């Protein structure tokens, strides 16, 4: 039996048992390799992965405009939050490029709230 893959609609994230171990968010649903590959193929084809009505990954058209920028900024922060936690818990610094990207993301979000 292969590596188990999970999808979490709340985080809109994919998790592999071999990578994340027991640190898979509560409420995640197990998906097949085919479902995972279909989501990745849709993403490579210009779609974005979103939670479907059944809580499983689905594909949707990309958003345009300022809301899209804010959404992308929030996603960047969410996807790099683990580096902040790691730095706080272990002292391992995040790369300077990531720190700068996170700062730019916070500025985009702040500007989008005006």
User: Is residue 54 located within the same domain as residue 82?
Assistant: no
User: Is residue 70 located within the same domain as residue 53?
Assistant: no
User: Is residue 74 located within the same domain as residue 50?
Assistant: no
Final residue in a domain of this structure, among 17, 45, 60: 60
User: Is residue 9 located within the same domain as residue 53?
Assistant: yes
pLDDT digits (tens, 9 = 90+) for 44-56: 888 889 999 999 9
Number of domains in the chain: 2
Expressed as residue numbers, the domain containing 34 is 5-60
User: Is residue 76 located within the same domain as residue 96?
Assistant: yes
User: Is residue 47 located within the same domain as residue 10?
Assistant: yes
What pairs with residue 59 in β-bridges? 49
pTM of the model: 0.56
Give residues with Cβ within 8 angstroms of 62, minimum separation 6: 46, 47, 48, 68
pLDDT digits (tens, 9 = 90+) for 18-71: 999 999 999 999 999 999 999 999 888 888 899 999 999 999 887 666 667 888
């Amino acid at each position: 039996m292969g590596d188990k893959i999970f999808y979490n609609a709340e985080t809109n994230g994919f998790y592999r048992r071999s990578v994340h171990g027991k640190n898979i968010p509560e409420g995640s649903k197990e998906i097949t390799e085919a479902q995972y590959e279909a989501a990745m193929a849709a993403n490579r084809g210009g779609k974005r992965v979103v939670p479907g009505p059944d809580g499983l990954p689905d594909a949707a058209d990309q958003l345009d405009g300022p809301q899209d920028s804010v959404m992308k900024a929030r996603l960047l922060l969410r996807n790099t939050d683990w580096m902040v936690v790691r730095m706080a818990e272990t002292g391992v610094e995040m790369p300077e490029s990531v720190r700068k990207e996170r700062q730019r993301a916070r500025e985009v979000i702040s500007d989008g709230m005006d």
